[in-house]
Amino acid sequence: MKVTVRADGGSEIGYGHLMRTSTILRTIGRIVDLDVRYLVRSWCDTAPIEEAGWSVEVVEDDSWIDEVIPDAGPLLIDSYETTVEQLDRLRGTGAMVVMLEDGQRLDRYPVDLLIDSAPGASKLAYQGEVATLFALGVQYLPLRREFLTLDRLDTLRERTPHILLTFGGSDPDDLSSRLLPMVERMEGVGRITVVLGPGYQGRVSPSDAGGRVVILRNVNRMAELMQDADLAISAAGGTALELAYVGVPTLLLPLTRDQEPIATALVEAGASRMLSFAKGEGETVAEQIGNILKDRDARLAMNRAGRTLVDGRGAERIAHLMLDQWRGRM
């Protein structure tokens, strides 16, 4: 089966769109043979796509829409550039359109399948066509395969807590450099692992490692690092949901507006807490981190709530929905 993907990733917008589309594609690829083509902007970091062995085509305008061949296979879209007008044009081609979304950005979604895997997405007033299928909620989270073979944390370890700092593929606000010195100065903290994404351009470097501090960049064993953490301080995108699945108590710092609903839902579910720089900058942040480190009962409750919230079968559910819809057209 051929699948065309419209998505981008890089230091400016992060790598979440590329990661979750690739997770879905790999899951489908374990069921049927796939021929994948990505349509990207010229600034997109195509390394993750090419490493997967998929083809890449650069598109700088929307002329590709008029070249879509309906019978060539599904079109998977994961891009905030997408507009209602573009979706209407695609629908006019007769193509099967599957769209990944983070919150209700558009007035309507003229697509075949709309996926929003954020907790609470089912409460949003999404509008589509009569035949549009909506897959809403964390049960559709496309979790990477490395997590599915992992033993989740069913309790807390009896040790000095290890802390994981991770702020996405690019960390545009350089939260890593703001929080690392603060956490290093804290008492009652064991190893501190800082994960820098491929698009990171901030002030933290491998030379900052030493003692309790481990600096890693562009890692391919994120599930293992999460499993070894007793507390995480993280952005509130897909990584936050992965942390919940593993059972890691997490303090969240949303980096963008689309991450705010995820953070709010995780907090409401009891799986995370929000970390705020609003009052007094570092001093108050240090107090918030210190308070949760001292409160074992609160961290245990977060562990249990996260594992209950995310079951890890989202990519499988999406794969079967896409395949069923495509087969229904044949």
Q: Determine whether 76 is exposed, middle or buried from the number of CB atoms within 10 Å of its CB (0-12, 13-18, 19+).
A: buried
Instruction: List pLDDT tens digits, range 155-165.
Output: 899 999 999 99
Please state, in angstroms and rounded to a whole number, the distance separating the CA atoms of residues 258 and 20. 15
Q: How many domains does the chain have?
A: 2
Q: Which amino acid is at 311?
A: D
Which pLDDT score, from 0 to 100, does residue 223 have?
A: 95
Longest Cα separation, the chain: 63
Which pLDDT score, from 0 to 100, does residue 266 have?
A: 94
- Report the half-sphere exposure of 258 (CA within 13 A, side-chain side): 17
Q: Does residue 203 contact residue 264 with C-beta atoms inside 8 Å?
A: no
Shared domain for 325 and 177, answered yes or no, is: no
Six-digit token pair at 94?
Answer: 């007769």
Backbone angles phi, psi at 78, to 5 degrees: -145, 75
How many residues can be counted in the chain? 330
Q: Which amino acid is at 299?
A: R
pLDDT-based confidence at 278, cuts 50/70/90?
low
Q: How far is CA 299 from CA 3, 57, 139, 223, 310, in A?
A: 42, 46, 23, 19, 17
Which pLDDT score, from 0 to 100, does residue 314 have?
A: 97
How does the average pLDDT of the chain come out, rounded?
93
Which pLDDT score, from 0 to 100, does residue 107 have?
A: 96
- Residues β-bridged to residue 250: 232, 272
Shared domain for 26 and 50, answered yes or no, is: yes
Six-digit token pair at 14?
Answer: 């992060």
Instruction: List pLDDT tens digits, range 122-157.
Output: 999 999 999 999 999 999 999 999 999 988 988 899
Residue 187's domain spans which residues? 146-309
Which pLDDT score, from 0 to 100, does residue 324 have?
A: 97
Which pLDDT score, from 0 to 100, does residue 23 have?
A: 96
Q: Does residue 223 contact residue 243 with C-beta atoms inside 8 Å?
A: no
Instruction: List pLDDT tens digits, range 211-255.
Output: 899 999 989 899 999 999 999 999 998 899 999 999 999 999 998
Shared domain for 30 and 85, answered yes or no, is: yes
Q: How far is CA 252 from CA 36, 124, 184, 191, in A?
A: 34, 22, 18, 19
Please state, in angstroms and rounded to a whole number, the distance separating the CA atoms of residues 258 and 241. 14
- Residues β-bridged to residue 57: 39
Shared domain for 112 and 165, answered yes or no, is: no
pLDDT at 93 over 70: yes
Shared domain for 123 and 151, answered yes or no, is: no
Q: Name which residue leads in pLDDT, 12 or 291.
A: 291
- Report the CATH number at residue 67: 3.40.50.11190
Listed residue (79, 2, 76, 70) closest to 36, CA to CA: 2
Six-digit token pair at 5?
Answer: 């993907």
Which pLDDT score, from 0 to 100, does residue 279 have?
A: 55
Six-digit token pair at 181?
Answer: 């010195």
pLDDT-based confidence at 120, cuts 50/70/90?
confident
Q: Which amino acid is at 320?
A: H
Residue 53 DSSP one-character state: T
- Residues β-bridged to residue 213: 192, 210
Mean pLDDT of 187-216: 92
Which pLDDT score, from 0 to 100, does residue 11 have?
A: 81
Which pLDDT score, from 0 to 100, does residue 283 have?
A: 57
Shared domain for 166 and 187, answered yes or no, is: yes
Which pLDDT score, from 0 to 100, does residue 114 have?
A: 98
pLDDT at 35 over 90: yes
pLDDT-based confidence at 313, cuts 50/70/90?
very high
pLDDT at 92 over 90: yes
Backbone angles phi, psi at 100, to 5 degrees: -95, 135
Please state, in angstroms and rounded to a whole number, the distance separating the CA atoms of residues 137 and 141. 8
Shared domain for 161 and 241, answered yes or no, is: yes
Shared domain for 136 and 33, answered yes or no, is: yes
Mean pLDDT of 299-316: 96
- Residues β-bridged to residue 165: 194, 233
Mean pLDDT of 186-208: 91
Shared domain for 89 and 163, answered yes or no, is: no
Mean pLDDT of 60-75: 91
- Report the CATH number at residue 186: 3.40.50.2000
Shared domain for 150 and 294, answered yes or no, is: yes
Shared domain for 62 and 99, answered yes or no, is: yes
Shared domain for 196 and 97, answered yes or no, is: no
pLDDT at 66 over 90: no
pLDDT at 256 over 90: no
Coil vs helix vs strand at 6: strand
